[in-house]
């Protein structure tokens, strides 16, 4: 297990995160949603602590403990006042090494996760993005819902969970990241005592292959007040040499309130309250997604306006002021995002997992400053292929209403 640290002596907290290089894309047939389900089960009792004792203990430390599952990683973290690092690490170690995964707790937690799946079904913004991932990446594992499906979750068994842990929770696949106000020598001693004997016999194997972005139109009719739209295009993988240019391109398109889509669709025409774009990058591929919610009769018009701005970027690129504004916004967001021990912990772990080294703030801001208008124009022509545009619509609309816009 790799351990990466950053001391922040001016702060009074410490965040410890355990990042496992396994997520929903690594699940096999019948395992869909298992990574997320396991994340829940780690908090449901150990050999010496019940689930309620775990909750009371973290509250007594004045901290917070949680976990989250992504498509390529599963993360467990604890954030506490700096004087509570020792008991916090002991608690995290107990959960990680000695969780029981009791059969009764497994059956009970199935109901919790089924409610979580129902929550997504009731949230149109979440649901349309889930449908869009499936539409854009087709049958690729990256396009599957992280939560899994109801039928698969109901079929999970304790022995299945234990086999999955044995196969994927290997020291070579795990990074521990620590950020905050701590004594390094004492931290090394604590980590060695809590995790030094962690071993697995079999080496992990990840069966991953690059995704292909597919175009097309999917319309899911549902009685809603708004039509919720997602438009998707090809993005870049993590660590790509043009990743900073891709973020600048996204910022200009729809990544902030001065972006073209926000100004054209919301500010000038009042067609949407919420419209934005974002990048999703993975180890071997990526996507760019545009989301908007609008009155059902205006949905084709919004799609038309989005396509128009995509064409403008492909043909004319960005001007100097747009680029400078995007660069300043990116640098400001980066600096502001690194002001907490939790965000520093996350950056440490992601750098180690995806780059194999730590990228300094100075290096990142210099890379942002080096992005040029020519680079953005080249990248927009490479990524913005409207013949491969993927469109997902959720709401009281018909498929026919989009034919003239997308033909």
Is pLDDT at 63 greater than 90 in this prediction? yes
Query: What is the model's pLDDT at position 11?
Result: 95
> What percent of the chain is predicted at pLDDT more than 90?
93
Any idea what the Cα angle at residue 16 is, between residues 14 and 19, rounded to 5°?
155
pLDDT average, residue stretch 277-300: 97
User: Which residue in 39, 72, 264, 298 is the catalytic one?
Assistant: 39
pLDDT band at 201 (very low <50, low <70, confident <90, very high): low
Q: Which helix (H) or strand (E) holds 342?
A: helix 341-350
Sign of the Cα torsion 11, 16, 21, 26 reads: negative
Q: Helix, strand or coil for residue 367?
A: helix
267 secondary structure, DSSP code: I
CA 276, chain centre distance (Å): 16
Least confident of 90-104, 194-208, 225-239: 194-208
What span, in angstroms and rounded, lies between the C-alpha atoms of 131 and 197? 43
pLDDT average, residue stretch 182-208: 84
Query: What is the model's pLDDT at position 407?
Result: 76
- Residues in Cβ contact with 274 at an 8 Å cutoff, skipping those fewer than 6 apart: 125, 291, 292, 293
Could you check whether 2-195 and 216-406 share the same CATH topology?
yes
Instruction: List, for residues 143-175, the tens digit of each pLDDT value.
Output: 999 999 999 999 999 999 999 999 999 998 999
Is pLDDT at 197 greater than 90 in this prediction? no
Query: What is the model's pLDDT at position 100?
Result: 96
* Interstrand relation of 74-81 and 64-69 (parallel, antiparallel or unpaired): antiparallel
- Residues in Cβ contact with 394 at an 8 Å cutoff, skipping those fewer than 6 apart: 124, 127, 128, 131, 220, 222, 224, 227, 228, 229
199 vs 393: which has the higher pLDDT = 393
Is pLDDT at 103 greater than 90 in this prediction? yes
Q: What is 216-406's CATH number, 3.30.830.10, 3.90.1300.10, 3.40.50.10480, 3.40.190.290?
A: 3.30.830.10
Strand order in the sheet with 174-180: 2-7, 174-180, 13-20, 74-81, 64-69
Is pLDDT at 242 greater than 90 in this prediction? yes
* Interstrand relation of 216-221 and 390-395 (parallel, antiparallel or unpaired): parallel
- Could you tell me the pTM of the whole model? 0.94
Question: H helices of 42-183, where?
Answer: 51-60, 85-98, 103-122, 124-137, 150-154, 158-168
pLDDT average, residue stretch 11-35: 96
Query: What is the model's pLDDT at position 107?
Result: 97
Structure tokens at 200: 């697995």
What span, in angstroms and rounded, lies between the C-alpha atoms of 176 and 406? 47
Domain spans in the chain, listed from the N-terminal domain onward: 2-195, 216-406
109 is catalytic: no
The fold adopted by the segment(s) 2-195 is: Cytochrome Bc1 Complex; Chain A, domain 1 (3.30.830)
Structure tokens at 168: 């994927």
Instruction: List, for residues 316-366, the tens digit of each pLDDT value.
Output: 999 999 999 999 999 999 999 999 999 999 999 999 999 999 999 999 999
Average pLDDT, the chain: 95
Is pLDDT at 190 greater than 70 in this prediction? yes
What span, in angstroms and rounded, lies between the C-alpha atoms of 234 and 103? 43
């Amino acid at each position: 297990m790799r351990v990466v640290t950053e001391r922040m002596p001016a702060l009074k907290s410490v965040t410890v995160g355990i990042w496992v290089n396994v997520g929903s894309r690594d699940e096999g047939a019948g395992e869909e949603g298992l990574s997320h389900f396991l994340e829940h089960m780690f908090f449901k009792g150990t050999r010496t602590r019940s689930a309620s004792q775990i909750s009371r203990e973290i509250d007594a430390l004045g901290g917070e403990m949680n976990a989250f599952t992504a498509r390529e990683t599963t993360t467990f973290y604890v954030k506490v006042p700096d004087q509570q690092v020792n008991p916090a690490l002991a608690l995290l170690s107990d959960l990680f090494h000695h969780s029981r995964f009791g059969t009764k707790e497994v059956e009970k937690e199935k109901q919790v996760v089924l409610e979580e799946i129902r929550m997504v079904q009731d949230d149109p913004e979440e649901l349309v993005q889930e449908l869009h991932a499936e539409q854009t990446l087709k049958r690729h594992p990256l396009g599957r819902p992280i939560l899994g499906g109801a039928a698969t979750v109901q079929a999970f068994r304790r022995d299945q969970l234990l086999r999955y842990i044995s196969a994927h929770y290997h020291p070579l696949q795990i990074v521990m990241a620590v950020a905050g106000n701590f004594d390094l020598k004492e931290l090394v001693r604590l980590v060695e005592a809590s995790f030094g004997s962690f071993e697995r016999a079999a080496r992990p194997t990840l069966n991953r292959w690059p995704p292909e972005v597919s175009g097309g139109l999917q319309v899911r009719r549902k009685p809603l007040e708004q039509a919720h739209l997602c438009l998707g295009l090809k993005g870049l993988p993590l660590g790509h040499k043009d990743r900073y240019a891709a973020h600048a391109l996204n910022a200009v398109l729809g990544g902030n309130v001065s972006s073209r889509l926000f100004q054209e669709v919301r500010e000038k025409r009042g067609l949407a309250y919420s419209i934005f774009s974002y990048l999703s990058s993975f180890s071997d591929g990526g996507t760019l997604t545009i989301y908007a919610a609008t009155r059902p009769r205006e949905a084709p018009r919004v799609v038309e306006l989005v396509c128009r701005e995509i064409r403008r970027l492909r043909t004319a690129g960005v001007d100097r002021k747009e680029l400078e504004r995007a660069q300043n916004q990116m640098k400001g967001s980066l600096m502001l995002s690194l002001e907490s021990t939790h965000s520093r912990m996350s950056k440490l772990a992601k750098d180690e997992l995806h780059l194999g080294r730590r990228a300094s703030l100075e290096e990142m801001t210099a890379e942002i400053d080096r992005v040029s208008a020519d680079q953005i124009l080249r990248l927009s022509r490479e990524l913005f292929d409207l013949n491969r545009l993927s469109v997902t619509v959720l709401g009281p609309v018909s498929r026919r209403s989009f034919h003239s816009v997308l033909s």
